Homo-oligomer: A and B are copies of this chain.
Amino acid sequence: MIGAPDRRSPRRNRSQNYVKYGAMAVAAAKRDRRTAARDARRRQLIDATMKCIAKKGISGMTLADVARTAGLSQGIVNLHFDSKDNLLRQTLSALADEYRSQFDRTLEQAGPAPADKLLALMQLDFRPTVCSPQKLAVWFAFWGEVKSRPTYRRICDAADRYYDDVVRQLCDEIIADGAYQNINAADAAGALAAMTNGLWLSALISPGSWDRNEAMAAVNSYLCHVFPQHFGG
């Protein structure tokens, strides 16, 4: 296939293209367009899956639901994901990837001081896009299956480990900078991660009385008490 000779002279232009960009480039372009479409479909199906999980729970969600929500036909999920199990795994991965990319971007864009970065990360966790009712529902739905699905656990564990490392390092720098005595970085990082997740649970269980500003205030209050020099306690 590569460099297959043209049988006819009228193909000159095409031949020139082959010469100019190479057969592989053309093949790649072709493939790209196809995979791009494929990825868009997959993304569309994953979005539909999240919607369905939020509405019916993992145990109540069916592939027919997902297909209908995506506005596509019955067999479409198996066509793109082979199995329901795989769809769910990919959905969790997508959710985790999405969070991670926001995390990394936040880290980049925040001011250079560790305290600025730490605050920015905490604020991220309570931004509407991150802790929308739907997103929370999906996170908790997967966490609810973690014990019985080692794969889910591994995905979550790897992600958590990364965030924890980053936050611990920031805490380390803050502690060194402020010469704080009564706190160690691991405890602080663990406590901060725990608070985020626990406050998310409150949002899930008492959505009526939950308020993102109050949640952020609780985190702030913690930071002020533990790192008073850096967070104006």
Contact = CB atoms under 8 A, between A and B. Distances in A.
Interface of A: 54-60, 133, 136-137, 140-149, 153, 156-157, 160-161, 182-183, 186-188, 190-191, 193-199, 201-202, 204-206, 214-215, 217-219, 221-222, 224-226, 233
- State the main secondary structure of chain A at its contact with B: helix
A136 B144 CA distance: 9
Given A58-B59, A191-B221, A198-B198, A205 B157 contact: yes
Contact of A148 (B55, B148, B157, B160): B55
A190 B182 contact: no
A182 B55 CA distance: 41
B57 A144 contact: yes
A93 to B, nearest CB: 15
24 contacts: A57-B59, A57-B144, A57-B145, A143-B143, A144-B144, A153-B205, A156-B205, A157-B205, A160-B205, A160-B206, A161-B206, A182-B221, A183-B225, A187-B214, A190-B199, A191-B221, A194-B198, A194-B201, A194-B202, A197-B198, A198-B198, A198-B201, A222-B225, A225-B226
B182 A194 contact: no
A226 B58 CA distance: 40
A175 to B, nearest CB: 12
A213 B218 CA distance: 24
Nearest to A191: B218
Nearest to A60: B148
Contact of A145 (B144, B183, B198): B144
Copies of this chain in the oligomer? 2
Contacts of A198: 193-199, 201
Contacts of A56: 148
A148 B204 contact: no
Contacts of A222: 191, 222, 225-226
B143 A204 contact: yes
Given A145-B57, A182-B225, A190 B204 contact: no
A77 to B, nearest CB: 17
B147 A144 contact: no
> Nearest 10 A-B pairs (CB), nearest first?
A144-B144, A194-B198, A137-B147, A59-B59, A57-B148, A198-B198, A197-B198, A225-B225, A141-B144, A57-B145
